[in-house]
Structures are given as structure tokens and as C-alpha cells.
Amino acid sequence: MRYGMVIDTKKCVGCSDCVVACQIENNVPIGYCRDWIQETVTGAYPTLALEFRSERCNHCDNAPCVRCCPTGASHKLENGIVMVTKDECIGCGACIQSCPYDARYQHPDGYVDKCTFCSHRVQEGLQTACASVCPTKCIYFGDLEDPKSEVSQLLKTRTYKSLAPEAGTKPQIFYLI
Amino acid sequence: MQEELFSSGRNIPNIDPTLEVWHWPISVDLFFGGLAAGLLFFAALFYLMNKEDKYPSIVKIAPIVAPIGITIALICLFYDLTHKLYFWRLYLTFRIESPMSFGSWVLLLITPISFLWVFSYIEDIFPKLKLKNNFLIAIKNFGATYRKAMAIMLIPLSISLGIYTGILLSAFNARPLWNTTILGPLFLSSGLTCAAAVILFFGRKNKEERNLFSKITLATLLIQLFLMAHMILGDFAGTEAQFQAIQLLVGGEFTTAFVGFVIILGLIVPTLLEILELRGVKIPILLPVLLVLIGGIVFRFVMVEAGQLAHYLY
């Protein structure tokens, strides 16, 4: 089992519903967010292209945040989800420095926080909050090791990219392009 | 092709628009950590070479700065933690892949040794002081008995601490300015230079010590200049991310601090002053000492601040 996410940039309209759903579901403090929308405009006028990406922790297979954590607070579950145990986190900020995606932040209570792929929901067989509310259904969540899963099928049939693959982190979020 | 990026729905404190997770305490920590490492290295080395009496400033006097420096470094480290009450978690595990874990264990070992080392020479440092408390005398005698063992331990520990101050940063491949293996030796050489400058100050009245440490300061300055040039050239010849990162220091917003205070005032001018001193020109000793120390601390500030601005391009 290796959870991952596939996001269809052709369907995402950048509405930020995923951002708000995550904030509510995970009680994210005001002013902070675990996921966000990135807009990329490429080309020169009048031939411009616009891409929306819903971004979050990439739950990297080779997670630098897990490696550099001095206490083991940042760790990887057997299902591939990267988690932070807040009572083990000392707030040193090393994991934040190590993340090429700037996907972590210091919670106002001091510990480091980030996307958990809604681990508490996934354990109950539910979708992540962001995927469940997406009005264009552009966020797919599932087991990348199951060849029959929707995410695996999409990666078989569509062209995709991941973010900063040159960082060597093996991100587990894939963007259909 | 032109490309523009917008981030919406995100304005996280200390993360956006640029990373500012590590602040001045980390720079101060790296400076004092490196300085203490250098002082303890020279003290242990000259003790093991049986030069304790020939060079008292190196072995006995100057190391007093080491425990003070380490204490300041530890206070800064603790101050910069945002989940402070859990700091003890550091010492429930040892994680070989985490430079911070490695560094915290090194600090745990080197701190008491540095205090004991200095305390064993307390009556040499303060000649008017005569210990009366039996407990304190026992500690002093204990330190004096085990000086050789302490010196043997201090050599690898001080080198580890000095290198750690650089590796702490260089281990993050997400930050292109830091992600170069030269940073470990560079920070170690900078720590040794700062320590040599402090020893030069303490030993200024002893002709032999002053002459020896003018030579050692000159050597460490030249090594540091060599490594600094390698870092700059390596980044200029590196990937686009590294190229953009080094431009922050050379041509970008940190140019005055880096080129002016670190390279010119902190390295080149003291190098020239030491050469003049060794050729017999009278140089006010405080001048090269202060320039080296100011250059050393500005270097840490520049690296910590600029390193957080540099990032991967996607």
C-alpha cells in the first residue's frame, strides 16, 4: 500500500475549495493552510497558457524531512503517508528547511504541521477532505501500488509530471497535464 | 518563453513570501559553536604536543571563551526552538542521517568537557584566585588528572562541532546555496580562523605566541579564502538554482555584506595585515582580530539569511 494523489490540472479551476475544506476538516489555524493553489502562466501574449495546481505536502517516498528530523517526530507510515508527531516535535525547523516544496509550517502552538492526506479520514475508508469537496473532481486519491486503482489507471493513460523531481525526493503527488 | 507564478490562498507566517524560519539565534549559534570548536581544538592539540607551558594562552587562557561561547550557542539554539518544552526529545534518540541530532549529541559531550578543561586551569587564568571550597578543588583536581583524556576526546569532538556548523546547512538539498559539501570544511576553517584570532589577542604580550598565531591565523585565512573561492566558483558553474543562489551574495542583495564585510574586510584585509605583521610592521593587534571576528559572524548571518531565500525552481 502506497497512498498517492493525482491532480488533473486540465480540470482544476483554482477555486480554493480544497484549501477551505482542509482548513475546516483539520482545524488549521487562521492565516495558515496545509494546501494551496498555484497558478502558472506561460507563454507570451497573446498565446498564453494558464495552469492551476492544488499543491500540498508531496508525501515523498524519499522524504528529506523524515531524514533530517533530529527526534523522529517526522516519520513515514507504512502506507506512505508522512506524518508529524506533535509531542515529539521540538520546533527546530530543520524539516521546513529540508522541504523543496515549502509544504510545512510552524503551528502557532510551536510544533510543525502539514498535510496528512487526511490520515484520520483515510483510516475510515473516506476520501481526503480536499478530494471529497472538489467541484470539478480533479483530485484523485488512492493506492499507487494497486494497478486497478483510479490513480494508477490515470497515470497509465495520461501524461503527468511531478514537482521538482530533480530534488530526488520521489514525490507521490502527480499532476496530469 | 516567459513564466509567471502566483500563489493564492497562502500567506503563511515565516514561509511566505520567503522562508524565514531560522533567525539571528541560528547565526549566533553557528558563530559561537565554530569559535568554541576552534579554541578547544587548538588547546587540545598544543596540550598533546606538550606545549602547555610554552604557549599558556593557547592551552590555558584562551579556552575560557569556549564554554562561554558554547553556553551562548546553546541558549540561542534553545531560544530558536518553537516547541521548547519538548527539547529533551533530542536525547531520546540518535539519528545518524540528521545533522541536528548529530550536533546535539556532540554538544552534549563537548559542553561539560569544555567547562572541566577551563576549570582545571582556573588558577592559571585568574592568578589571584585561590579555591577554598573542597568540592571545587576536587573538581579542579579531577580535571587536571584527566587532561590528557579530555584532550584526546576534544580533538575529534571539536572537529565534529566545527564541521557540524556547516553540515547543518549543507545537508538541505532544498536550499541550493547551502547544498554544497564545501560548507562543512569552510565553516570549520572559519571557526579555526576566529579561534586563532582570539588566541592572538590573548597571547599578544607573549612574543612567541604572537608570532606563532600570526602564522596560524594567516594559514587559516588563506585556507578559508581558498574554500570560499571554491564555493563561489562551484555555484557559478552549477545548476540554474545554484547560479541564482550565489548571485544573492555576488551581485545581489547580500553583496555589500558578503563581499565587503566577509571577503574584503573579514579575509583579505586581515590576511594582508598578518603578512605585514610577520614582516615586522607594527600592527595594532585588535585590528585583525576584530576584522576576523566581525567577518566570521557576518558570514554566518549572510549564509543563514540568503540560504533561506534560495530555492528550487519549478
Cα separation, A4 vs A82, whole angstroms: 11
Mark B101-126 as b/e (b = at least 16 C-beta within 10 Å). Answer: bbbbbbbeebbebbbbbbbbbbeebe
Contact A42 B14 (CB under 8 A): no
SS3 letters for chain B? CCEEEEEECCCCCCCCCCCCCCCHHHHHHHHHHHHHHHHHHHHHHHHHCCCCCCCHHHHHHHHHHHHHHHHHHHHHHHHHCCCHHHHHHHHHCCCCCCHHHHHHHHHHHHHHHHHHHHHHCHHHHCCCCCCCCHHHHHHHHHHHHCHHHHHHHHHHHHHHHHHHHHHHHHCCCCCCCCCCCCHHHHHHHHHHHHHHHHHHHHCCCCHHHHHHHHHHHHHHHHHHHHHHHHHHHHHHCCCHHHHHHHHCCCCCCCHHHHHHHHHHHHHHHHHHHHHHHHCCCCCCCHHHHHHHHHHHHHHHHHHHHHHHHCCCCC
**Would you tell me which residues 85-114 of chain A have a C-beta closer than 8 angstroms to some C-beta of chain B?**
86-94, 96-100, 102, 104-106, 109-111
For an interface test with A, give the residue of B10, B30, B80, B97 to mutate (most A CBs within 10 A).
Answer: B10
Contact B8 A36 (CB under 8 A): yes
Cα separation, B30 vs B36, whole angstroms: 10
Low-confidence ranges of chain B (pLDDT < 70): 1-9, 313-314
Average pLDDT of the residues of chain A: 95
Phi, psi (rounded to 5 degrees) for A110 = 115, -35
Give the chain B residue whose CA is nearest to the CA of A17: B9
* pLDDT score recorded for residue B71: 96
Q: How many CB pairs under 8 A join A and B?
A: 153
Reading chain A (177 residues) residue by residue, the pLDDT tens digits are 999 999 999 999 999 999 999 999 999 999 899 999 999 888 888 889 999 999 999 999 999 999 999 999 999 999 999 999 999 999 999 999 999 999 999 999 999 999 999 999 999 999 999 999 999 999 999 999 999 999 999 999 999 999 999 889 999 999 999
Contact B83 A111 (CB under 8 A): yes
Structure letter (DSSP) for residue A34: S
Q: In chain B, which residues have their Cβ closer than 8 Å to the Cβ of A99? A: 174
Q: In chain B, which residues have their Cβ closer than 8 Å to the Cβ of A93? A: 21-22, 80, 82
| AA letter at A144 | L
Q: Say whether the ipTM exceeds 0.85.
A: yes
For an interface test with A, give the residue of B87, B89, B311 to mutate (most A CBs within 10 A).
Answer: B89
Phi, psi (rounded to 5 degrees) for A146 = -90, 110
B8 min Cα distance to partner chain A (Å): 5
Cα separation, B277 vs B196, whole angstroms: 15
Give the chain A residue whose CA is nearest to the CA of B9: A36
Structure letter (DSSP) for residue A143: E
Q: In chain B, which residues have their Cβ closer than 8 Å to the Cβ of A41? A: 3-6
Structure letter (DSSP) for residue A29: P
- This model's pTM is above 0.90: yes
* pLDDT score recorded for residue B5: 60
Closest partner residue to A70 among B12, B19, B95, by Cβ? B95
Are A97 and B25 in contact, with CB atoms under 8 Å apart? no
* pLDDT score recorded for residue B130: 85
Closest partner residue to B100 among A14, A68, A99, by Cβ? A68
Question: CB burial class (10 A; 0-12, 13-18, 19+) of residue A47?
Answer: exposed
Contact A89 B83 (CB under 8 A): yes
pLDDT digits (tens, 9 = 90+) for A101-122: 999 999 999 999 999 999 999 9
